[in-house]
Amino acid sequence: MSVFSRTDTSLLSTWWWTIDRYMLVAVSMLLGVGVFLTFGASPAIAEKLGLPSFHFTYRQLVFIAMSMIIMFGISLASPITVRRIAVIMFVGCLGLMLLTLLIGTEVKGAQRWLPLGSFTLQPSEFLKPAFIVVSAWMFAEAHRSPGFPGRRIAMGLYVLVVLLLVAQPDFGQTILLSLVWGGQFFMAGLSMLWVGVLIALGLSGLLVAYTAFPHFASRIDRFLDPSSGDTYQVDTALNAFRTGGLFGRGPGEGAVKKVLPDAHTDFIFAVAGEEFGMFFCLFVIMIFAVIVVRGMMSLLRETDLFIFLATAGLLMQLGLQAVINIGVNLALLPSKGMTLPFISYGGSSMLALSIGMGMILALSRRYQGAVGDMSGQLSRGVRGHYGRV
């Protein structure tokens, strides 16, 4: 029997009956898997650094508790409130990104973090969900008010964000956001001609990055030809999957976490593969698929273009980030320091993902009647695919 009655109109009762509870369960399962794997993967890293064995585990539990509060709070919001949160966060993150370039901590040749006591903040993680929602708003406004330069504003914001990311440099986040933004633009009615133009510009950008940034070129070269450089981390991760087999070596029996410096962050999926096997890894992938597919399926009946584009963009970000992390672990993609959503250790990533997930839950809530102030725009956006930009 439910705690809340359907006739109860209180805030919590309305939230309970309108939220996608299956998606909420799936996210909770990812958080549970993350805690479970962090308990196994992080002690060896902490001991190498001279820290207490469960240093990273305790910190991750704090991050998860904060994330759940943030996710719940944002999931209560209306679409208009979600949009306002995104705008405020976007402006704040732009300022923090500029500050990072001036006083940020440099790690492995990249300047992406701001020191805040014992915590380091990565503003680009929080910029992602904010930019996605703001772009969705601009695209939707361009459809609602034909004279409004929403698309040009979205293009200008995209260029600004890319310049800030490349200045760090962070090509992984640049590629991720470019794919999401391009997907949103296409769904908002981008003509096929401009699809070709944007693809050509993207490939040109990759060529320029390959030519101008040796670090980026080295990663591409090592991916295409492993004998051209050091591929120790990827080779070790692949060996972990091989030794794990179908069912794994057992909890705590893995060796990869003892030799990989990023076993609790970028390569936690390899730890899962070695200790729990292929079937467990497929289970984790299935959870991500449930969230993305269920979210996308719910949009098939959405009539608000802003909600459609914002939710689709946030789901694409979550799914693509998981694909990139898993692809790197399996040597299917060039090496890139990107966390596995809700599973890898990392405060900025965990908190930013909880904001994005809270927005997805808020925007995907099912209300009686239309929600938002831009209803009826979706069909025009779909029909505009073959129109002019």
> Which residue shows structure tokens 């309108």?
18
The pLDDT assigned to 384 comes to 41
Name the residue among 238, 235, 243, 129 with its Cα closest to residue 181.
129
In this model, does residue 87 exceed pLDDT 70?
A: yes
Interatomic CA distance for residues 20 and 366, integer angstroms: 8
Beta strands of the chain (E only): which ranges? 105-107, 110-116, 119-121
* Integer angstrom CA distances of residue 245 from 61, 240, 270, 312: 29, 9, 12, 35
The pLDDT assigned to 81 comes to 96
Q: Contact 18/362 with Cβ under 8 angstroms?
A: no
Cβ atoms within 10 Å of 198's Cβ, excluding its own:
16
Helix (H) or strand (E) holding 304: none
Give the DSSP letter of residue 228: G
pLDDT in tens, 143-163: 999 889 999 999 999 999 999
The pLDDT assigned to 275 comes to 92
The pLDDT assigned to 299 comes to 92
Confidence of residue 374 (pLDDT cuts 50, 70, 90): very low
In this model, does residue 371 exceed pLDDT 60?
A: no
Q: Which residues contact 343 (CB under 8 A, 6 or more apart)?
A: 30, 33, 34, 37, 268, 269, 284
The pLDDT assigned to 206 comes to 87
Interatomic CA distance for residues 108 and 218, integer angstroms: 14
More confident residue, 194 or 342: 342
Q: Contact 268/41 with Cβ under 8 angstroms?
A: yes
The pLDDT assigned to 389 comes to 38
Q: Contact 250/275 with Cβ under 8 angstroms?
A: yes
3-class DSSP assignment, residue 339: coil
The pLDDT assigned to 367 comes to 60
Q: Contact 139/154 with Cβ under 8 angstroms?
A: yes
Q: What is the mean pLDDT of residues 11-31?
A: 91
In this model, does residue 234 exceed pLDDT 70?
A: yes
> Helices H, strands E: what count in the chain?
15, 3
Q: Contact 335/215 with Cβ under 8 angstroms?
A: no
Backbone angles phi, psi at 340, to 5 degrees: -85, 115
pLDDT in tens, 328-340: 999 899 887 789 9
The pLDDT assigned to 364 comes to 92
The pLDDT assigned to 3 comes to 66
Q: What is the mean pLDDT of residues 201-228?
A: 86
Interatomic CA distance for residues 129 and 213, integer angstroms: 27
The pLDDT assigned to 182 comes to 94
Widest distance between CA atoms in the chain: 66
Q: What is the mean pLDDT of residues 57-65?
A: 93
| Share of residues in the chain with pLDDT > 70 (%) | 93
The pLDDT assigned to 41 comes to 85
- State pTM to two decimals: 0.90
In this model, does residue 343 exceed pLDDT 50?
A: yes
The pLDDT assigned to 165 comes to 94
More confident residue, 259 or 65: 65
Q: What is the mean pLDDT of residues 171-181?
A: 93
In this model, does residue 23 exceed pLDDT 90?
A: yes
In this model, does residue 259 exceed pLDDT 60?
A: yes
Q: What is the mean pLDDT of residues 254-272?
A: 88
> What mean pLDDT is reported for the chain?
87
The pLDDT assigned to 111 comes to 83
Residue 317, both tokens: 């970000």
More confident residue, 103 or 355: 355
Q: What is the mean pLDDT of residues 347-355?
A: 94
Q: Contact 317/133 with Cβ under 8 angstroms?
A: no
Cα end-to-end distance, the chain, whole Å: 52
In this model, does residue 368 exceed pLDDT 80?
A: no
pLDDT in tens, 102-139: 888 777 677 888 888 777 889 999 999 999 999 999 99
> Which residue shows structure tokens 């070596």?
249
Residue 293, both tokens: 């597919």
Does 169 sit behind a cis peptide bond, omega within 30 degrees of 0 on the bond before it? yes
Name the residue among 293, 258, 224 with its Cα closest to residue 44.
258
Q: What is the mean pLDDT of residues 224-230?
A: 79
